Amino acid sequence: MNASAAALPIDTRTAARARHATRALFATLGTMAGVWGAHVPSVKLHYGLDEGTLALALLCGGLGAVLSLFVAGRFIARIGTRHAAGLTGLVMVLCVAIVLQGHTLAWLMAVNLLFGMAMSVHDMAINAEGTALEALGGKPIMGGLHGMFSVGAMGGALLASLLLHWQWPATLQFAVEAVVVAVVVVIAWRFLLDAHPAAAGPDGPARFVWPRGQLLVIGLLIFAGMAAEGIMYDWSVLYLKQERGQPQDQAALGYAAFAGAMAVARFGGDLLRAHWDDRRVLRVSAWLAAGAMAVALISPNAWVTLIGFALAGAGIAPVVPLLYTAASRVPGSSSAAAIAAASSIGYSGILVGPPLIGAWAKAASLSHAMWAVVIAAALLALGCARGLAPPPRAD
């Protein structure tokens, strides 16, 4: 990535515009996540699904995300980060616009599959764009970019809460969001860098490599973190509405608190890393997430639950930025290939999370199933020493 980024003839003004455009795309991706999370109960009601069947539909999104990782690197290398981000952004918008236009489970599964594929490639493209900009500017910006995703997720959930309170139909909300996000994507597309990250890297083409050794451990830690985040994304609003009896507009505030705290923690993450090493940051954060989520699930008080969700979000926030950085430093392959390999396991957390929670909820209750977040965070805390250990030196 660094080589191709450095080769671009870019002035300061062009780089600044590209940074603003990339921030906007991270924010819009988060906005779609926030609106979707707030409307999982709407999807469940529209299609008349139980928890198990809903989990099957959500599984398709994770499946699409994982499958696309095997070709994402080559696709982005061929057409560049700019066009990959723009095209996949518009495909995601289309999926959001049509998700409630059908009436069969097959339609919902097909739309989710396409959405998962587009989201995964879009995510990789804008992260590659951020890496190129970071190399050009010579200062870290990835924490701030991921923070913009969380800001967008919080804003999307808050917007959904407000529109639900005003009794806007879910189909109209999705349509309005799709139009707004499409406009942002088209405008941002114009100002992104035309980088081809795998074409000129010192380690050769960024082809998919199977993770092993330390890279495998990092991938498993990303799996735990993304599983916890995905559970909150897909199930937290439904949990508050169905198990705690909150109106849907109020339940959406639970995910907004989770995402908002993630944003604050990610923006402040670089400052924390200046005083603590990465292993300590991840270990303390993971234990915070596990403890806060446990309290939120035990307490009958709605305010305690809201604060618990927020602290859980703050604890999970450093997982992806820290572990993606750790993966890029593992020797033996290009940074892009290493990140794609670790991501393939990480995104499997999104693949496994929905059916796990659905099956658990059907066998017991959604209240019991949400304890999976506590378990995932605890595994992160216990495994981070191995995953973030310095790689062995080659003789």
Residue-wise pLDDT tens digits, 125-158: 898 888 788 778 777 787 788 889 888 988 888 8
Q: pTM, whole model, 2 decimals?
A: 0.77
Q: What percent of the chain has pLDDT over 90?
A: 39
pLDDT score for 7? 45
Q: How many CB atoms lie within 10 A of CB 385?
A: 12
Q: Which residues of 263-272 are buried (b: 16+ CB within 10 A; e: fewer)?
A: bbbbbebbeb
Q: What is the mean pLDDT of the chain?
A: 84
User: Residue 172 and residue 381: Cα distance in Å, rounded?
Assistant: 42
Q: How confident is the model at residue 286 (pLDDT cuts 50, 70, 90)?
A: very high
Concatenated DSSP letters of 137-173:
HTS--HHHHHHHHHHHHHHHHHHHHHHHHTT--HHHH
User: Residue 81 and residue 192: Cα distance in Å, rounded?
Assistant: 8
Contacts of 22 (CB under 8 A, 6+ apart): 126, 129, 130, 133, 145, 188, 192
pLDDT score for 293? 97
| The token pair that represents 362 in the structure block | 């059907």
Q: Give the total residue count for the chain.
A: 395
Give the domains, in start order, of the chain with CATH numbers. Answer: 2-387 (1.20.1250.20)
Highest mean pLDDT among 27-41, 104-118, 142-156, 266-280: 104-118
Amino acid residing at 280 = R
Concatenated DSSP letters of 259-279:
HHHHHHHHHTHHHHHTTS-HH
Q: Is the dihedral of CA 76, 192, 200, 78 positive or negative?
A: positive
pLDDT of 25 strictly over 90:
yes
User: Residue 144 and residue 235: Cα distance in Å, rounded?
Assistant: 26
Residue-wise pLDDT tens digits, 195-210: 665 544 444 444 555 6
User: Residue 216 and residue 237: Cα distance in Å, rounded?
Assistant: 32
- The DSSP element (H or E) to which 375 belongs, if any, is helix 371-387
